[in-house]
Amino acid sequence: DSKTPLQKKLESLSKAIGILGISISFVVFVLSLLQGSTYFPAFLLAISLAVAVVPEGLPAVMTITLAIGVKEMANKKAIIRKLSAIEALGSITLIATDKTGTLTTNKMKVSELYVDDKLYKESKPPSLSNHPFSKMLLDGILCSTASLVFVHDHDQYDVLGDPTEGALLFLGQKMGLIPEMVRKEWKVVDEVPFDSVTKRMTVLVEKFPISNNQFPNKSQISNSKILFSKGAPESILEISKYYQVGEKIEKLTPNETKNIENIMHAWAKKGLRVLAFAYKNTSPSKMSNELTNQLTSDDLTFLGMVAIHDPPRPEVLEALAKAKRAGIKAVMITGDNEVTAEAIGVSTGFIKENEEILTGKQLEEYSDKDLLEKLPSVKIFARTTPFHKARIVKLYQELGEIVAVTGDGVNDAIALKQADVGVAMGLIGTDVARETADMVITDDNFATIVNAVEEGRNIIKNLKNAITYLLSCNVSEALALVIGLIIGIPNLFFAIQLLYINLVTDGVPALALAFSPKDDSVMNDQPKKEMELLDSRNKKYIFLVGLLATCMVIASYFIFRGTDLYRRTAAFSVLALIQSFIFVDLWLSHHSVLKNLNKLKRGIFLVAFIVPFILQFVIVHSERLASVFKISSVSGSTFIGYIIAASLILVWIRILKRML
């Protein structure tokens, strides 16, 4: 079914209102006949009331509201791919986010190095004559899919691809190893791409002398073939039996492994991302069908590690506070180790020190039942794979959470599809992730997700306000007519009057409500897991405000003394004008008029508010139009009296809110 849940709910609501409208029309038809009306006028009035009661403008209002909302989100760097995401965004109870690039800036830079059994700062690295260092730089350049592109507008190089790999390319370029030239000299013969399970990438490269020939001939091919691997330190240590110090290759002992792990943990505690490198010289005589065995070799030589600094985004703290205020939980699901994840989690305000963190290994040890008990108390999941992420999302949903999850890789598509709102990264996300997602954020920023949730809530708020407006106006029209008939006022309104009110004083403001200003207070409300077009608060508003308006319309019939036609003019005008003041209340989302005068200065509001007044004045002031609408023409001072009478609805609404 191509219809969104929101469209289905609107259809259901429209059907219910339609049935109610027909029922009320039948009652009015019978009462009109009992009051002495002839069949045709009574039938015409009943049909007009049915048309007035049923809010035909609802589909148009919904379409415009959603279209404006989608445009607003796009302006705020959130691209909606599926309209159903808007409804879900307004109901989100949990955001499961990546760390790199979402909570951090993704502006990677190598800050420290461990190579040749020594520690170095990036500002004072060893020279290229250092054999392990030069080999580690080669590893970082060749075992990479990223590239550096010179951007003339910025007069600098930018990274095309993974920013982590970009940091390695920048380091190599700084040391004089131009990535483009290195890749011309060394050709990748075979590779095992980065895998989220093994946490490493491996390539087999062969050296060709640089020449002008596009394809080297056999005489140009050297005997140099090297296996390079790059990835998480623990993953690289798993496949390393040796380590290199200077020109010597030594056995990787438990003590040396422990030393490497200590350095890795010290860096991770600073929130630094750690990558390790290893290599192996291979036999050039290996046939292509034996390459796979070479690529999965476990006797490599450990070269060293780099620590990459990726600063936390300063806006994350504020976004987390906003999410918490809105009753939205946030959890981090990252492939980084738990120490780095904790450091970033503490610095961004996700957790406090020493809070529990679950790793991918622990997740595999827990049954679903055990994990369901654990989830409410855990905010960070480290060293996870996309499959872990999908499982976490599914279990959160079993706990009743409405989940938004971020993803950028091909394998993240599973979690993105499982989530209520899949959020793909626009900068570093793969095509598969973007196509699977419900929403794409173009700046990969966690704060953008929270802002999108806020925008989603405002869209739903505007839609609810438009529906509430239309129905409260329709209730006042129907009740005024029915009560008028009951108390002995036959045909208080004529068909043409009801049709005019339905088209102009109902329709124009209802459409304008799609443009109503953002209400910051929506992020003070707890999320509602099941979005209703009309909750109990809206239903009370519709009935009570409709009843108040009815009482004021009936009262105006008796207060403005004169001929029967004069009294009908008052009732018709007050009914038409009251709706403009109900529009004011809903435009301000029930907030005080005096405290929000700046929100009443928007052009769309002024048009929707003033046009019905002008048209109503023209109708009651022109004898020709007055006769068409079956009313009497009145003076300007009398019309001002109608405005004052209608405006009192705002006072009554304020009193009503205090009582409720």
Quick check: 584 pLDDT over 50? yes
User: Residue 220's pLDDT is what?
Assistant: 40
Among candidate residues 210, 205, 220, the one with its CA nearest the CA of residue 135: 205
CATH number, domain containing residue 340: 3.40.50.1000
- The C-alpha atoms of residue 238 and residue 231 are separated, in whole angstroms, by 11
Residues 99 and 152 in one domain: no
Residue of 1, 98, 162, 585 marked active site: 98
In a domain, 470, yes or no: yes
DSSP, res 83: T
In a domain, 84, yes or no: no
Helix (H, G, I), strand (E, B) or coil at 506: helix
In a domain, 591, yes or no: yes
The model's pLDDT over 544-571, given as tens digits with 9 standing for 90+, comes to 999 999 999 999 999 999 999 999 999 9
Among 385, 412, 444, give the residue marking a domain's end. 444
User: Residue 288's pLDDT is what?
Assistant: 45
438 counts as catalytic:
no
User: Residue 153's pLDDT is what?
Assistant: 79
Helix (H, G, I), strand (E, B) or coil at 108: coil
Quick check: 218 pLDDT over 60? no
- The C-alpha atoms of residue 508 and residue 468 are separated, in whole angstroms, by 14
Among 384, 413, 444, give the residue marking a domain's end. 444
In a domain, 582, yes or no: yes
Residues 558 and 513 in one domain: yes
Q: How confident is the model at residue 264 (pLDDT cuts 50, 70, 90)?
A: very high
Query: What's the number of CA atoms in the CB half-sphere (13 Å) around residue 610?
Result: 8
pTM for the structure as a whole: 0.81
Mean pLDDT of all residues in 273-292? 73
Among candidate residues 581, 641, 649, 576, the one with its CA nearest the CA of residue 612: 576
CB atoms within 10 A of CB 604: 14
User: Residue 292's pLDDT is what?
Assistant: 56
User: Residue 232's pLDDT is what?
Assistant: 94
Residues 130 and 116 sit within 8 Å (Cβ to Cβ)? yes
Q: How far is CA 535 from CA 344, 353, 532, in A?
A: 40, 41, 6
Q: How confident is the model at residue 211 (pLDDT cuts 50, 70, 90)?
A: low
- The C-alpha atoms of residue 576 and residue 612 are separated, in whole angstroms, by 8
Residues 80 and 442 sit within 8 Å (Cβ to Cβ)? no
Quick check: 215 pLDDT over 50? no
Mean pLDDT of all residues in 612-629? 94
The model's pLDDT over 335-362, given as tens digits with 9 standing for 90+, comes to 999 999 999 999 988 898 889 999 999 9
Residues 302 and 324 in one domain: no
Residue with tokens 């995401």: 85
- The C-alpha atoms of residue 635 and residue 227 are separated, in whole angstroms, by 94
CATH number, domain containing residue 643: 1.20.1110.10
Residues 414 and 562 in one domain: no
Quick check: 221 pLDDT over 80? no
Residues paired with residue 357 on neighbouring β-strands, in sequence order: 380
- The C-alpha atoms of residue 78 and residue 451 are separated, in whole angstroms, by 9
C-alpha radius of gyration, the chain, whole number: 35
Residues 204 and 187 sit within 8 Å (Cβ to Cβ)? no
User: Residue 210's pLDDT is what?
Assistant: 57
Q: And the tokens for 286?
A: 């290996």
pLDDT-wise least confident of 148-162, 553-567, 615-629: 148-162
Residues 32 and 118 in one domain: no
Q: Provide the residue range defining the domain that includes 607.
A: 5-77+451-517+532-659
- The C-alpha atoms of residue 392 and residue 461 are separated, in whole angstroms, by 30
Quick check: 659 pLDDT over 90? no
Residues 596, 600, 606: CA angle, nearest 5 degrees: 170
Quick check: 276 pLDDT over 80? yes
User: Residue 495's pLDDT is what?
Assistant: 82
Residues 343 and 267 in one domain: no
In a domain, 343, yes or no: yes
CATH number, domain containing residue 264: 3.40.1110.10
CB atoms within 10 A of CB 518: 15
Helix (H, G, I), strand (E, B) or coil at 109: strand
Residues 138 and 218 in one domain: yes
Helix (H, G, I), strand (E, B) or coil at 111: strand
Residues 274 and 331 in one domain: no
| Average pLDDT along the chain | 89
In a domain, 614, yes or no: yes
Among 266, 292, 309, give the residue marking a domain's end. 309
Tally the domains of the chain.
3
Residues 478 and 510 in one domain: yes
The residue ranges of DSSP E strands in 53-199, in sequence order, are 78-80, 94-97, 109-115, 118-121, 147-151, 156-160, 186-195
Residues 408 and 358 in one domain: yes
Residues 269 and 392 in one domain: no
pLDDT more than 70, % of the chain: 95
Residues 302 and 325 in one domain: no
Q: How confident is the model at residue 216 (pLDDT cuts 50, 70, 90)?
A: very low
- The C-alpha atoms of residue 281 and residue 227 are separated, in whole angstroms, by 6
Mean pLDDT of all residues in 38-44? 85
User: Residue 565's pLDDT is what?
Assistant: 93
Phi, psi of 290 (to 5 degrees): -100, 0
Among candidate residues 136, 127, 131, 114, the one with its CA nearest the CA of residue 246: 131
For 301-325, letters b (16+ CB in 10 Å) and e give bbbbbbbbbbebbeebeebbebbee
- The C-alpha atoms of residue 457 and residue 406 are separated, in whole angstroms, by 19
pLDDT-wise least confident of 275-284, 292-301, 378-387, 580-589: 292-301
Residues 157, 162, 166: CA angle, nearest 5 degrees: 40
Mean pLDDT of all residues in 506-515? 89
- The C-alpha atoms of residue 459 and residue 42 are separated, in whole angstroms, by 41
The model's pLDDT over 599-620, given as tens digits with 9 standing for 90+, comes to 888 899 999 999 999 999 999 9
User: Of all helices (H) and strands (E), which one includes residue 484?
Assistant: helix 446-486
The residue ranking higher by pLDDT, 34 or 77, is 77
Helix (H, G, I), strand (E, B) or coil at 640: helix
